[in-house]
A and B are shown apart, each in its own frame.
Chain A
Amino acid sequence: MSLTHEAWADALRDGDLLGVACADCGATYGTPFAVCNDCGGRDVETTDLPTEGEVYTETTIQVPPVDFEGPYQVGMVQVGSARVTARLEGDGEAVEIGDRVVLDGVVESGGEPAPVFRTATDGE
């Protein structure tokens, strides 16, 4: 069995970002898939993704769904050759496209974790 959601979530809570890499074509994803969407290969292996990356795109949600308290910033982070969708924390300033960010914990909603990336400071 390839990477499960449960294993992805448990690792995330431990500070590790897991993705999957196709042994046949090398495609890498930031979330589990049973089969590679690039080549159809089933030999999809769990891989450690970098916990530091670059903001690919972002927005600030001013009107949240029920059970969320806005405003908060959500974005996609490029981590190596994969991307993940995450909460962004800018230490008082909005995080922008191209900014370096590091994984810094999770937020939980309905028992499911989402990664939180924070603006990288020098030396990280």
Chain B
Amino acid sequence: MTRASVVGASMTTFGVHETTLTELFAEAALGAFDDAGVGPDDVDALYFGNAMGGQTENDTHLAPKAASQVGLAGVPCQRYEDACATSSNAFKNAVEAVEAGVHDTVLVGGVERCTPETGLGTGEMTRIFASASDRYYEQPTGLTFPGVFALLTKRHMHEHGTTAEQLAHVAVKNHANGQLNPNAHFGKETTVADVLESPVIADPFHLMDCCPFSDGASAVLVTSDDRADSFDDPVDVQGVGHATDIVPLSAKAVPHATQAARDAASQAYEQAGASADEMDFAEVHDCFTGAEVMASEAIGFFEDGEGGPAAEEGRTRIDGDRPINPSGGLKAKGHPIGATGTGQIVELTEQLRGNVGERQVEGAERAVAHNLGGDAATTVVSVMGVRR
């Protein structure tokens, strides 16, 4: 079934940007307007994501600021903050709003700056990212976000025999895909040995197992099913699942199961009337290589414990049987926190339109996006498909 449709999609390059947050957002938003062939008068609301502007740039209440920059002053604006799942939650709420008839067409997007353009160095930004972990029962230990996913991944390795080499294959694959994406922060030919020889950040993760700090913005226009046919190239939203899990990590029954992702994926597949086997590819939240392995199991692409071997065997490459992160993923495309969720929706839209050139998943008709935030406590999973 169709819950809503994406009729415009655009993103900035993910990388280093000198422009302000609202200028950066405007670049993506105007791209989405142009892609859909609409102007501000056609847009009824802004659903906006920014996770950390208050901490990084002393910039809050950003939704009306962003709206003003793109001629939307006056429309209802709402800002979402769910750590790394920020703008996918904005997307979920926008889909619900047009489905319910609250609005006809809405602009959804996100923006973030995480590079030293903010004036903040690695230690300061590491501290700000760690604010999404538990304030009292995790932060005082000095746990970082590489550390959070290292804890989950080490247990996954212990339970399932996942190896550092298998993790490195995820990085090699996503870097290779990033080369084919002109909007990607990084992308290069690299090897498992290169990954394993890079400096350790939080074992088992080496530098090349980790996504970069990125600046960037992404935006999509969402409209109702019955209005979508009046646009040139709509792509349907068939399901959006959203689940949370207990914080802190120590209270989770099986931390490396990333239960919120399993719950959100079940919801999304049920809404879409489809199974994981019917997804032609996935964009998943590979903030660290281990996160991609766990996500690939949580969304049902592989049985538990098979995510690592699948990466090693090349099954998740663009030409594999279960492609994951053809965009390069967070690992290579980049991870501007508040822009990442709708960035995945941009990739699904462009892939399902058949518009992405060399990184095209051949014949893709249905795909799934998995966006995870903070201590694996928020996950939004979206299923999109070619409009019939």
Contact = CB atoms under 8 A, between A and B. Distances in A.
B123 interface: yes
Interface string B231-268: 00000000000000010111100010000000000000
Interface residues of B, number: 37
Contacts of B255: 57, 76
Contacts of B126: 63-66
B155 A57 contact: yes
Contacts of B140: 107-110, 112-114
Residue of B143, B158, B203 with most chain A CB atoms under a 10 A cut-off: B143
Contacts of A68: 142
Interface string B17-36: 00000000000000000000
Given A31-B250, A58-B151, A85 B138 contact: yes
A93 interface: no
Q: Which of A5, A64, A83, A108 has the most CB of B within 10 A?
A: A64
Interface SS of chain B: helix
A96 to B, nearest CB: 9
Contacts of A67: 127
Looking at A29, A59, A68, the one whose CB has the most chain B CB atoms below 10 A away is A59
A70 B126 CA distance: 13
A63 B122 contact: yes
Interface string B266-286: 000000000000000000000
A74 B139 contact: no
A23 interface: no
B251 A61 contact: no
B302 to A, nearest CB: 21
Interface string A44-65: 0000000000001111111111
28 contacts: A30-B250, A31-B248, A31-B251, A56-B155, A57-B151, A58-B151, A59-B202, A59-B204, A60-B203, A62-B200, A62-B201, A63-B201, A65-B124, A65-B127, A66-B126, A75-B151, A76-B151, A76-B250, A83-B250, A85-B143, A97-B155, A107-B141, A108-B140, A109-B139, A109-B142, A110-B140, A112-B135, A114-B141
Interface of A: 5, 9, 29-31, 33, 37, 56-68, 70, 72, 74-76, 82-87, 97, 107-110, 112-114
Interface of B: 122-124, 126-127, 130, 134-144, 146-147, 150-152, 154-155, 158, 199-204, 246, 248-251, 255
Top 7 A-B pairs, shortest CB-CB distance: A65-B127, A59-B150, A114-B140, A57-B155, A83-B250, A66-B123, A112-B140
